[in-house]
Amino acid sequence: MEHEDRSGRSRALEGRHALVTGGGSGIGLACARRLAEDGARTTILGRASAVAAAADLRAEGLDVDAVECDLSDVAATRELAERLASEEKIDILVNNAGIIYREPAETHDPREWERVLDVNLRAVWALTQPLGAAMVERGFGRIVTIASLLSFQGGINVVSYATTKHAVVGMTKTLANEWASRGVTVNCIAPGYIATNNTTALREDEAREAEIRSRIPAGRWGTPDDVARAAAFLVGPDAGYVNGHTLVVDGGWLAR
């Protein structure tokens, strides 16, 4: 049953346990805050910044903790996921952590290719498979993976990143086909141009910033909270019949 706190905010996720990866800043931090505000016990999974972010959110009175993990170490990530699946009741998984590497395809560093695939794809699967299997066994779960506009477009000089973002959409559709009848929804969010640390260089380039903003029908860059609100919807009770979907949060960019 949905409750409200004293501020009138919905507590739609009361009694749920959410795991958010890469929640030390930006979109991940906004998602962790929003899910906690909506009543979920929230665990941030990531590097040292995740631990600091969790402490800040606890200082705001939110039920947030952190588990330190290097998601580029896929074997360690899977080991942790298997332990969490057996020891905790994780109801919600938000696969947010991701990295990008820019270099022309003909010279794209093979080591960077592997590093991007490790964080953006292999670690996502290492977490999703054991935690999702536990959700299937319990008959309830919500999984959201942060995709990208480059799940639909190719981009330039980002072949490893675009490959991973296409791949997680395919993974999402397949898992929805297999798990929807067993109470688990699996969806993606494809953010557009969001004002985060990853886009600082673009926003500081006045000509490029103006070019990008001029194509966004909303006339502004997105915020991490724009994405967090979409995540809260997809893991909440109103999205129980939304499955295998990639929700674009881009201010209309793809429509232009």
Catalytic site positions: 161
Q: How far is 96 from 203, CA to CA, in rounded Å?
A: 22
Q: Which residues are within 8 A (CB) of 20 and not within 5 positions of it... i.e. 6 or more apart? A: 28, 31, 32, 35, 42, 43, 44, 45, 94, 96
- Contact between 56 and 80 under an 8 Å Cβ cutoff? The reply is no
Q: Where are the beta strands (DSSP E) in 184-244?
A: 184-191
Torsion, Cα of 152, 155, 161, 167 (10° steps): 20
Give the bridge partners for 68, in sequence order: 46
First-to-final CA distance of the chain: 41
* Residue 156 Ramachandran class (φ > 0 left, ψ -120 to 50 alpha, else beta): beta
- Contact between 189 and 147 under an 8 Å Cβ cutoff? The reply is yes
Picking from 60, 44, 48, the residue whose alpha carbon sits closest to that of residue 5 is: 60
Phi, psi at 116, each rounded to 5°: -65, -45
Our measurement of the distance from residue 9's CA atom to the centroid of its chain's CA atoms, rounded to an integer in Å, reads 23
